[in-house]
Chains A and B, each alone.
Chain A
Amino acid sequence: MAFVFSRLDDLATWAQTHSLSFLFLDLSCCGIEMMHTTGGRYDLERFGAVQVASPKQADLMIVAGSISYKYAETLKKNYEQMCDPKWVMAIGSCAGSGGMFEGEFSYSTVSGVDKILPVDVYVPGCPPRPEAIMHGLLTLQKGIVKCRAQNSWKDSKTSSPEL
């Protein structure tokens, strides 16, 4: 019996990792690269990731670009509307650490989305190539499998095991 359930769990994990619906926040230039990735040439949808319009349907948030203080509030609200389990991907140096707008270089830019939300995968680059973004998504999928194996995905907010 245990065997059957563990196989079922594997099936559920497989389904979850290959049907990520993501909310795409296109905040500046990195967004263009992300659009390109979802477009016909690179086609992120073949990994099962599909873009949705509402945060309520999404289980992955992709933040691409620099975040201003004015937008930080909206970003938080969007994240709170997403159902658990949920993940966050930071695309580009700006979303990762503030990039070239960090600290003394800008008065209005948040130095990394991890100042506001827990981030699962960082994709560095200014901007990262579509291949890098796809690698980020595959890394996240591997991470989800790992998380489910440890059964820790339920509290994804507090613990995000190393991928």
Chain B
Amino acid sequence: MSSTEFLEGLKNEFPGAITKIDIGYGQKFAEFSSNAAASIFNVCSTNERGRFDLLEDLLAYDSGDDIVLVYNLYSTLLNHRVILKTSLHRKEPSILTATTVWLAALSYEKEIAELFGVRFKNHTTEIPFLLPKDWQGFPMRKDYVYPGGYSGIAHGSGVERRKR
């Protein structure tokens, strides 16, 4: 059973939620709207033709307009993979947590929450993960302005670098 068929089936099941199916670079992509996250995660992990039991990676990037989340799913049972993408609004990006389906999402989500400012609903832990507790802003966003310093230490060596 190939993942293409699974994606076609998924599109028929959720006609509104799956906005795009794409094949390229030897991978299968599907874009979904973040409102339907809960049912799509469930179907991906339980569907007979999908059986995606492993979240290989969860990453995020800033496309300039939106924050995009990328879920790399792999099925160890059927040996196929699929990549799910979703775009979130820059202002208050939020999505349901994937930890209820794949526990592997736990630390990925913590990291993305901290570096991109995405709020994961129903995520169990809210503690700071990588950054100090009082850090301002979300460093991996494109519009992030570097701080002048932190706790009394000035940022940068003060030496002008040659511009490239």
Contact = CB atoms under 8 A, between A and B. Distances in A.
Chains A and B belong together in one complex: yes
Interface of A: 69-70, 72-73, 97-98, 102-104, 107-108, 110-112, 115-116
Contacts of B159: 97, 102-103
Interface of B: 130-132, 139, 144, 146-147, 150-151, 153-157, 159, 161
A112 B159 CA distance: 12
A69 B156 contact: no
A112 B157 CA distance: 7
B82 to A, nearest CB: 34
A107 B141 CA distance: 12
Given A103-B161, A104-B146, A107-B139, A73 B151 contact: yes
B156 A103 contact: yes
B131 A70 contact: yes
Given A97-B157, A102-B157, A111-B157, A69 B146 contact: no
Contacts of B155: 103, 107, 111
Contact of B139 (A70, A72, A108, A111): A108
A114 to B, nearest CB: 9
A161 B33 CA distance: 65
B153 A72 contact: yes
Given A104-B156, A104-B161, A107-B139, 13 more contacts: A69-B153, A72-B151, A72-B153, A97-B159, A98-B156, A102-B159, A103-B155, A103-B159, A107-B155, A111-B155, A111-B156, A112-B157, A116-B153
A98 B150 contact: no
B157 to A, nearest CB: 4
15 contacts: A70-B130, A70-B131, A70-B132, A73-B151, A97-B157, A102-B156, A102-B157, A102-B161, A103-B155, A103-B157, A104-B156, A104-B161, A108-B131, A108-B139, A111-B155
Nearest to A102: B157
B38 to A, nearest CB: 34
- Interface centre among A98, A107, A110, by most chain B C-beta atoms within 10 angstroms, is A107
Contacts of B130: 70
Nearest to A112: B157
Contacts of B151: 69, 72-73
B163 to A, nearest CB: 10
B164 to A, nearest CB: 11
A132 B8 CA distance: 61
Contacts of B150: 69, 72
B132 A69 contact: yes
A110 B131 contact: no
Nearest to B154: A115
A96 to B, nearest CB: 9
